[in-house]
Amino acid sequence: MKIIRKRQEEGGLLPSVVVRLSKKIESPLYYSDYGLRHPLGIFNSSVNEVVTEIEKLCDLLEKIAVTYQGDLIEVIKNHDDILGLQRNLLYSIANHLDNCENIMKCFFQAKKAFRKNREVKEYKKNIQDYSSHVGLLVNKVKHENQMIRPIWMANNTPSQEKWFSPGYYLETAKPDGSLGPNPDLHKADDTGISFYRDIRFHFAHIYIVSSYLDDFTQKIVGTIDEINYSLGKDTRLGKLAMRITNLPKYYFPNERSKSFPVIKFCKGIKGNDKLIVEYPSKKENLPKLKQCTFSIGSMGDGVTKQIKFKLPGIESLRKAKKIQ
């Protein structure tokens, strides 16, 4: 899906569903029956939580990109912070996906009618891959004692510019009693998730999920012209999009064969800025990886004695080591 938002169009850079939910909806709304806010209020409050968590993560990623000078141990000290931020982001996204369903529920007086509605089923099908990905991470961490653990990729070649790419993996207990990456998330060559790709992936899905929600709302209420609630400013999303656009693209080797999340913020003439969000995309200019060092992190539990971690497909690039 490719989404283009322009600052000088209605709603500016805001997700399109915000524009539709701000209109004077003639169809009955049953949000008070469910103890919910107006659909626009649900969306605004929910997406703001996600944006806040992405901003915090972006703050730390920008700091790492600017301050890293080859001292891996020094930058690793910040990794507990970044993993905590990632957990909070995942929780806020799971909450946001639930709230998008709550928005749809507002258009139905009976829960049974909501569950059986064709447009609701279509929306759920369209976001299934993303919701399953987020749901797997959140449920394993919250309910099955699995941990988000760090993995780092660094380039310390003296003749080249030094850079550092932080990431994470989902650690689980293996049948043989050792610890290692969860095979439900890390299949085949998948071993780690870089934050530089992941933050783009989740930001893109703010717009992608919103687009599917907008499709649902349009089918339910049709086209409406009259504004009922004022639109908020798009300044915050624009600034965040520009920051994410400027982040490095040091994706892990196993991610370079995947589809790319593309975020492009383009400054326009006379303030007509443009935001391009695309996923999946096969076109992305990535820097070459040479002489990379990989490190992983874990934490002892007083019982488990072995960690099994493979980095398939990148033997020519890495010297792997464990940091406990």
> What kind and span of H or E run contains 165?
strand 163-173
The backbone region for 95, taken as left when phi is positive above 0, alpha when psi lies in -120 to 50, beta otherwise, is alpha
Pair of tokens at residue 37 = 């806010």
**Mean pLDDT computed over every residue of the chain:** 88
pLDDT digit string (tens) for 173-222? 988 888 888 999 987 545 789 999 999 999 999 999 999 999 999 999 98
- At 321, which helix (H) or strand (E)? strand 320-323
What angle, 0 to 180 degrees and rounded to 10, lies between the N-to-C axes of helices 128-143 and 195-221?
120
pLDDT over 70, % of the chain: 89
- In the predicted model, what is the mean pLDDT of residues 93-104? 98
pTM of this prediction? 0.92
Q: Please, what is the Cα angle at 84 between 83 and 88, to 5 degrees?
A: 115
Q: Going by C-beta distance under 8 Å and a sequence separation of 6 or more, which residues neighbour residue 302? A: none
Q: Which residues, including other chains, have CB under 8 Å from residue 78's CB and lie 6 or more apart?
A: 60, 63, 64
Residue ranges per structural domain of the chain: 2-323
In this predicted structure, the answer to whether residue 318 has a pLDDT above a threshold of 60 is no
Q: Give the model's confidence band at 230: pLDDT under 50 very low, under 70 low, under 90 confident, else very high.
A: confident
DSSP string covering 46-62, please? HHHHHHHHHHHHHHHHH
| pLDDT-derived band at 32, boundaries 50, 70, 90 | very high
The candidate with the shortest Cα–Cα distance to 21, out of 9, 29, 32, is 29
The DSSP bridge pattern shows strands 2-6 and 147-155 to be unpaired
Indicate the length of the chain as a whole number. Answer: 324
Q: To the nearest whole percent, how much of the chain has pLDDT over 90?
A: 60
Residue 25 is encoded by which pair of tokens? 């909806």
Query: Could you tell me which residues are beta bridge partners of residue 278?
Result: 2, 262
Sorted by sequence, the CB contacts under 8 Å of residue 317 that are 6+ apart come out as: 253, 289, 290, 291, 292
Examine the pLDDT at 22 and tell me if it is beyond 50: yes
55 vs 63, residue with greater confidence: 55
Q: Which range is least confidently modeled, 49-53, 250-254, 271-275, 297-301?
A: 297-301
Alpha-carbon span 53 to 88, nearest angstrom: 7
All residues at 6 or more sequence positions from 230 whose CB lies less than 8 Å from its CB, including other chains: 22
Distance CA 322, CA 324 (A): 6
pLDDT at 69 over 90: no
Interacting residues of 159 by C-beta distance below 8 A, sequence separation 6+: none
Residue 188 has a pLDDT of 58
Q: Which residues pair with 265 in a beta bridge?
A: 275
What average pLDDT does range 31-50 have in this prediction?
Answer: 96
Phi, psi of 33 (to 5 degrees): -65, -30
pLDDT tens, 144-176?
999 999 888 888 666 667 788 899 999 999 888
The DSSP symbol for 109 reads S
Please indicate whether residue 226 or residue 1 has the higher confidence score (pLDDT).
1
Most confident of 54-58, 63-67, 255-259: 54-58
Write down the pLDDT at residue 29: 96
Q: Is the pLDDT of residue 74 over 80?
A: no
- Cα 322 to Cα 18: distance, rounded to the nearest angstrom: 46
